[in-house]
Amino acid sequence: MKKNKFPRVKKLLRRRIVVIFLLAAQLLAFLLILADSSTRSKVTELSLIVFSVAVALYIIGREDNSDYKLTWVTLILVGQLFGGMFYFLFRAQSRQKKLRALIDDKDKKAAVYLKAEDDPDAREAFGKKSPQYVSCAEYLRSAGYPIYRGQSARYFSDGESMFAAMLDDMERAEKSIYIETFIIGPGEVWDRMLDIMRRKARDGLDVRLIYDDIGSFLRLPEDDIRGLESAGIKVACYHPFTPFWSMLQNNRDHRKITVIDGGIAYTGGVNIADEYINRVERFGRWKDAGIRVTGRAVRSFVLMYLRMWETLTDADEDWAEAYGAEGPEESGEGYILPYDDSPLDRDQVSENVYLKIISGAQKYLYIETPYLILDEILIRALTLSARSGVDVRIMTPHIPDKKFTFMTTRSYYSQLVKAGVKIYEYTPGFNHSKVIVADDGIANVGTANFDFRSLYLHYECGAVMFGGEVPKAIREDYIATLSECEFIGADHPLCADTLKNRLKRPICRLLAPLL
């Protein structure tokens, strides 16, 4: 094993070192230009300041999140000479016309297929059974996503059980395997999946993989990808990381979708790496969550996947051919509404789903998230819910994977606790679950964290489940996990009104939209 390991590591590092060197060279060149005597001239300085002021006014006038505006305007005022240029480099390149045109074309194609899935009878039945949740379903329908009734879903409270079921389903695949993930890390999980994918591709199945290059940048050697393609597996990489400054690198594909034979779908927080099944320990014990969906609702996941596939490859296929056989009507009692979210439109679907669930809660609202970095809208919704008598609980990790992000998460505790929100930290390690459940009647499991990056910058996906067994299963798992958590009350040092906390909180809040 050691003989194979070190060449793989060398190949992995080679590209990374070159890219990092080129980025550092560009940054150095930029700093040298700023330090040059001509750059320091009065005319150049005045031009840069005027440009920064113009950019600040442009930001204020944009239809954007107010927290983003505050952060960027403050940074520009602090760095007058190059604040405007920094914003231009960091933000302005994310809306390239060619990419937008391609995405719009695929969105229009998907809309036709999704509209065909809309079932008026299902909507009518849902309205009679769960009138309190109609507004949430109608919002998602306005965004193009249909609701499905009589669907079956299974909840997984850890990556181990989810991967065991997924690998078993992959072994039984007869038609296709579609995988989309943010992270691929070499190890037991990837090796087992890779073996199945290669065998199924040899047998003539349609096997595809979409991965995010940033997510796998420090892990997956290029030789592994070339090996996939030579084995007959179709591969698409979301925005390959390049050694040139571009905001396109900031919009990442954070989704995790696996679709098997067009009739089984998985989603949740679980990436393809050994820490997600606790084969290796990076930040203590890893807790995650996911769901397995069967029935007609899987078609929405098929459409999500193929829309991204064609956006990356510019292909044009008949998506209905990827659907699984309808088979007998599902016997599940619940309703399922899968959806996805794009950073290149004006509709923050994931955040709006969270807001609908928060505002609709009457008895209890339980949330699990690895990062709690909230905008003013979410803070107000959570505190209003708690002050209205709802039992609002939020579970976050106790062991951080990113220290400043962890510090920023904790900076919100005091304000939330004062309003009556109960905060718990998962002491055995890192809780990566992205789960929200309310009143045993509605739950969401997906890929979006409660942070700016997921809600505004990444491609995400999820599924809202109304009724059925999943909301109850999530509540039971949540209550059981509380015994492994530390309660953060008003008397906890993290909520104390000390000078250290008063200085730390505004700095974290200011930089929160950039995390």
For the chain, give every domain's residue range: 2-93, 97-336, 349-514
- Helices first, then strands: H and E counts in the chain: 18, 17
Spatial neighbors of 350 by CB under 8 A, at least 6 apart, are 341, 446, 448, 454, 455, 460, 462
b/e burial code for range 35-70 (CB count within 10 A of at least 16 → b):
eeeeeeeeebeeebeebbeebbeebeeeeebebbbb
Tell me what pLDDT residue 496 has: 84
Asked whether the beta carbons of 185 and 218 are under 8 A apart, the reply is: no
The length of the chain is: 515
Tell me what pLDDT residue 6 has: 45
135: its two tokens: 């507004």
Tell me what pLDDT residue 218 has: 65
**C-alpha to C-alpha distance for 172 and 257, rounded to whole angstroms:** 18
Tell me what pLDDT residue 259 has: 97
Beta-bridge partner residues of 68 = none
pTM attached to this predicted model: 0.85
Tell me what pLDDT residue 502 has: 79
Tell me what pLDDT residue 27 has: 59
**C-alpha to C-alpha distance for 240 and 391, rounded to whole angstroms:** 44
CA-based nearest residue to 87, from 106, 100, 74: 74
Tell me what pLDDT residue 2 has: 37
Tell me what pLDDT residue 401 has: 87
Asked whether the beta carbons of 247 and 94 are under 8 A apart, the reply is: yes
3-state class of 55 per DSSP? Answer: helix
66: its two tokens: 């107010």
Q: 97-336 and 349-514: same fold?
A: yes
CA-based nearest residue to 343, from 103, 4, 166: 103
**C-alpha to C-alpha distance for 301 and 289, rounded to whole angstroms:** 18
**C-alpha to C-alpha distance for 179 and 308, rounded to whole angstroms:** 11
Tell me what pLDDT residue 42 has: 61
What does the CA dihedral 219, 223, 227, 229 come to, rounded to 10 degrees?
90
- C-alpha 116: how far from chain center: 27
Which CATH superfamily does the domain covering 97-336 fall into?
Endonuclease Chain A (3.30.870.10)
Tell me what pLDDT residue 3 has: 39
Tell me what pLDDT residue 503 has: 80
**Fold classification of 349-514 (topology level):** Endonuclease; Chain A (3.30.870)
Q: Which residue has the tokens 């700016």?
A: 452
Residues in the chain, pLDDT under 70: 1-53, 55-65, 68-69, 73, 75-97, 217-218, 221-223, 241-250, 326-332, 515
Tell me what pLDDT residue 4 has: 42
Asked whether the beta carbons of 111 and 144 are under 8 A apart, the reply is: yes
| Cα separations in angstroms, 360 against 10, 351, 365, 512 | 53, 14, 9, 27
